Structure 1
Amino acid sequence: MTDRPHRNFYGRTKGKTLKRSQQSYLDADLAALSPGAVDWDTNPDRTPLDLEKLFPNKEIWLEIGFGGGEHLVHQAGLNPQAGIIGAEPFINGVAMLLGKIRQAGVENVAIHPGDVRDLFDVLPEASVSKAFLLYPDPWPKTRHHRRRFVTAEHLEPLARCLKPGAEFRVATDIPDYVRQTLEEVPKHGFTWLAEGPEDWRSPWKDWTRTRYEAKAIREGRVPHYLTFRFGS
């Protein structure tokens, strides 16, 4: 048995009371969409997930904090060749995603309703071809910047899970988050692929606007779209 590390978690796990339909999605659909034994109680030895069994003959993509699930379902529909694992600790967002999966009828999605660091523990080394970090919690106060995803605590295990040449996309509307991303991500084996301003001002060709981006634009904040490649 592997000793369980102490990990502080600062985000929300539950918001407003779920609608009856959302609770029914959780009860009926969530267990079947699990990527496997991720939580420490079910997998204390941290045995790696069998991704070939989960998604036979598919490349593996990862969305870190999928919010309401708009982007994840959109990408799943566009890319049947990929199996997409989403990690999100906010159970209201998980319920929203489950509703969207039913509506879209996509079958190439798995969901970890918890801390992505636990998922990193059991993802096999060099197994993920593409990863997304879209409008992460900005933690705007300076003393909270260490809680942001773009720190060594998260980037090191992410890098371990990525295949050489994997793409890592980051979208944020917070200028200081852009600064920290551009400072920290390259330290962990990533290359920023921008060649000019349009590369971070324009969304990706396969992008769909999320509710978080729509809110940012309504409130006058400017989205930034950062693309990195891992390794050589």
Structure 2
Amino acid sequence: MSTPIRPRRNFYGRLKGKTLKQSQRGYLDEDLGPLSPGPVDWAANPDRTPLDLDAMFGGRPTWLEIGFGGGEHMVHQAASHPDVGIIGCEPYINGVAMLLGKIRRAGVDNVRVHPGDVRDMFDVLPEGAIDRAFLLYPDPWPKARHHRRRFVTPEHLKPLHRVLRPGAIFRVATDIEDYVRQTLEQVPQHGFEWLAEGPSDWRTPWSDWISTRYEQKALREGRTPHYLTFKRI
């Protein structure tokens, strides 16, 4: 069997911000390796061998958070749902360091962290392996010429559909109205059903929601959060 050819993928966005604190560098050095979901990057897994999620989480359902920001939602979900395993993907290394600190303080052990592009994770997740996915306050890319960089495009939605099991839930939170428009336009075209029955369904946070720092910033600046729930069909 020949080794798959690595696709050409442009990445847009920040990989690193301000200089990391000494404690954050310690989290990366000491905790990131043990919390790795396995060989995800092409250099470590050129054959794109699928991850063994049963071995990773002991047969528990697996959730996926796409771009976890500072990690507060991911840790909250892990603590609230110890019966599931959660994989988080985030290429912004400062956010990864923040998450690792929160994991250490919370003492949760049902998380794995990929400090990179979720598209590489899609390559090595088995088909139908994910029971729930989260896309929370993604980069809005507000300029019209940059809308193709948003997550809610075929390049991301097709592999997301593949790795979600039938009936799995996909949650999207955003404060950008045009992102809502594109989400409602694109996501149903790629095998998802929007579950809203009335305005309260996208205006009211989910029952297990924790407001993130990005949401608090949006509220301070007068923008309205939207909570969109889809089902993989």
**TM-score bracket relative to the smaller structure:** over 0.9
1:220 corresponds to which of 207, 219, 222: 222
Distance 2:59 2:38 in 1: 17
Aligned 1:77-156 pairs, distance under 5 A:
77-156=79-158
The 8 Å contact of residues 192 and 232 in structure 2, kept in 1 or not, is answered as yes
CA distance in 2, matches of 1:86, 1:57: 18
**Contact conserved, 2:53 with 2:59, CA < 8 A, in 1?**
no
1:186-230 deviation per Cα after TM superposition (whole angstroms, max 9, x unaligned): 011100000000000010010000000000000000000000000
TM-score by length of 1: 0.99
Secondary structure at 1:97 match in 2: helix
> Cα offset for 1:181?
0.1
- Alignment partner of 1:183 out of 175, 181, 185: 185
- How many Å apart are 1:15 and its aligned residue? 0.3
Q: Secondary structure at the match of 1:179?
A: helix
Identity between Structure 1 and Structure 2 (%)? 73
Distance 2:180 2:164 in 1: 22
Deviations 1:37-81 (CA, angstroms, capped at 9, x unpaired): 000000001000011111112000000000000000000001011
Which 4+ residue blocks in structure 1 deviate beyond 6 angstroms?
A: none
Cα separation, 1, equivalents of 2:206 and 2:56: 28
The match for 2:170 is 168
Q: What is the CA–CA distance in structure 1 between the aligned matches of 2:23 and 2:156, rounded to whole Å?
A: 34
Aligned pairs, how many? 231
Instruction: Give structure 1 stretches of 5+ with no counterpart.
Output: none
